[in-house]
Chains A and B, each alone.
Chain A
Amino acid sequence: MVKAEQVWKSFGNLDVLKGIDFVVQPQQTFVLLGPSGGGKSTLLRCINHLEKIDAGRLYVAGELMGYKERGKVLHEMNARDVARQRASIGMVFQRFNLFPHKTAIENVMEAPIMVQHAPRKKAEAEAEVILRSVGLGEKLDTYPAQLSGGQQQRVAIARALAMKPKLMLFDEPTSALDPELVGEVLDVMKQLARDGMTMVVVTHEMGFAKEVADGVALIDGGVIVENGPPGEVLVDPKEERTKLFLSKVLA
């Protein structure tokens, strides 16, 4: 579903990603771990082309992201084609980024109506179903400002799911939450993983990684230090860097 080949990204003179390779199979959950500033979030933002990569190739569902390849020549995609590619990739942000001028259900209906041109009634009915499935059936007409962080993040997940994405990206979805609200968001994500959604998750939640991840990669200094099933990387890491990171996180 996702294939990264030698992905490089720099901001000015600073190389943030230095040749990243990985593959995420359909219906798998891939967790990116690592210290802050290591490049995890940048990599995630490259996957849906919020950041342009400088070298390498990134494919989602077999399609090259952000470019068209004709023969050996790359053509940059126009805004409309990039938007079309992004529409099939859901993204959940650390700071939720709900639309504050719209209610929970309006947040969820917005893109299906405006992007996929779904009939309003159908979009509203579907939005209600999705919001119920994340436990927010009582909060349909509530504005984000009146919701707790955990509830806001669940609306954000529902908003992304409403586009029926092939892939979901999570950028530290629980880092901005009060500790007692982390569980409700992780529960929704675990359920999503069990239902067979393909997911790439940047997180510091080791419990989540152990429980649902099919693959775990440790990213530091712009490279993948170690990549493998959670049973190996988290329990019996081969690299010193991974051991050091885990000892600090689990301490």
Chain B
Amino acid sequence: MSVSSLSPGDTAAAGRPVAASRPEAIKAIPVRHWGRWLSAAIVLYLVAALIFSFVKSPNIDWPTVREYMFMPLILRALAVTIELTFVTMLVGAAGGTILAIMRLSQNPVLSWIAWVYIWFFRGTPVYVQIILWGNIGVLWTKFYVGLPFTGLVFGSADSGTLVNNLFVVSVLALGLNEAAYAAELVRAGIISVDAGQTEAASSLGMSPLLITRRIVLPQAMRVIIPTMGNETISMLKTTSLLAALGGGIELFGRVQSIYAQTFQIIPLLVVASAWYLIVTSILTVGQARLEAHFGKGFGAEETEAAEKRAARRASKASAVLDKAQRTQGRRS
């Protein structure tokens, strides 16, 4: 079986009309947008007034803002906020992917479990969930591993040890909530992959799980990853709700616990807002890059990798060819 004599494209070159010489390019005066200039001036004027009222306000104590801005106490809380954001998103994305696959499964039990989970965690406010996790010890004083209703117990742990670790409680509260939202994003991503992909893969004898893992999920990721970037930015700010747990391990909780004692409410809120803005700005740039990378179908990275592989193959082939020629030369 060899049809390598076919070379597509050799029919196209013939019979194409010859282009005439190109006329002079158009030079024209562009349309003037006077309205834009006027509205920009008015907006600038108003913004200047607003900034002036902030900067010169006697109620914002700028030296205090400057003092707290880079205080280790604040910076450490900021670090915890960032850490919480990423760990929570990791838990949320992993959990969401599993939930989405369960939800789309042919197995009604798995699909139903995922539905109930999403129903509960999306149906109650995240603020309530945080406080519920903070008080989980009131609901269950001990956690048991065993068979329910039989009295069979293999091991148990005090819920107090869990509740005392604020970071773990925070990750549980936000991560389990995020998983429910992420599940819907992942599900949308999976559904966006053409049904023909699944058909082609199953016609090759691939099992449903293999198809999901090797064919559908990698393609769904192109839709999911940019939206996950958006979720991460949102999560950074949602961590401020953890202030409700007390203890002040993250930025807003820390700020709150400080101004509860010093009453420097406005300066400390300015500090917190400034930090949230700075970090979200950085994340927004990252998000835009992700979107540019994944939005345009197939990224430069993959093309580059393929080109490298092609080059490697070519050099291998030419080495073989060289060898063949050399041995031939020796023979003749």
CA distance A227 to B125 in the complex (A): 66
The A-B contact count (CB < 8 A) is: 111
Total chain B interface residues with beta-carbon distance under 8 A: 35
**CB of A70 within 8 Å of the partner chain:** no
**CB of A80 within 8 Å of the partner chain:** yes
Contacts of B202 in A (CB 8 A): 50, 83, 86
A141 contacts B310, C-beta separation under 8 Å: yes
Known: A101-B218, A150-B8, A184-B8. A115 touches B306 (CB 8 A): no
CB distance from B196 to the nearest CB of A (A): 4
Known: A133-B1, A143-B306, A195-B1. A86 touches B203 (CB 8 A): yes
Chain B's closest residue to A101 (CB) is B218
A135 contacts B203, C-beta separation under 8 Å: no
The interface bits of chain A over 183-208 (1 if a CB of B lies within 8 angstroms of the residue's CB, else 0) are 01001100110010000000000000
Chain B's closest residue to A156 (CB) is B200
Contact-residue bracket for chain A: 35 or more
CA distance A137 to B196 in the complex (A): 26
A111 contacts B4, C-beta separation under 8 Å: no
CA distance A150 to B210 in the complex (A): 28
B206 contacts A111, C-beta separation under 8 Å: yes
**CB of A114 within 8 Å of the partner chain:** yes
A86 contacts B205, C-beta separation under 8 Å: yes
**CB of B162 within 8 Å of the partner chain:** no
Contacts of B201 in A (CB 8 A): 99
Contacts of B208 in A (CB 8 A): 79
Chain B's closest residue to A112 (CB) is B204
Contacts of A80 in B (CB 8 A): 207
**CB of A163 within 8 Å of the partner chain:** yes
Chain B's closest residue to A45 (CB) is B199
CA distance A134 to B1 in the complex (A): 8
CA distance A137 to B3 in the complex (A): 11
CB distance from B202 to the nearest CB of A (A): 6
Known: A80-B207, A83-B206, A97-B197. A114 touches B214 (CB 8 A): yes
Binds A, one of B57-65, B147-155, B296-304: B296-304
A140 contacts B207, C-beta separation under 8 Å: no
**CB of B31 within 8 Å of the partner chain:** no
**CB of A175 within 8 Å of the partner chain:** no
A148 contacts B3, C-beta separation under 8 Å: no
Chain B's closest residue to A139 (CB) is B310
A93 contacts B2, C-beta separation under 8 Å: no
Contacts of B1 in A (CB 8 A): 133-134, 188, 191-192, 195
CB distance from A175 to the nearest CB of B (A): 14
From B196, B203, B309, contact of A89 by CB (8 A): B203
Known: A87-B204, A97-B199, A111-B205. A135 touches B6 (CB 8 A): yes
Contacts of A181 in B (CB 8 A): 8
B207 contacts A83, C-beta separation under 8 Å: yes
CA distance A111 to B306 in the complex (A): 20
**CB-based closest 10 A-B pairs:** A87-B205, A97-B200, A111-B204, A91-B203, A97-B196, A141-B310, A141-B306, A133-B1, A135-B4, A115-B205
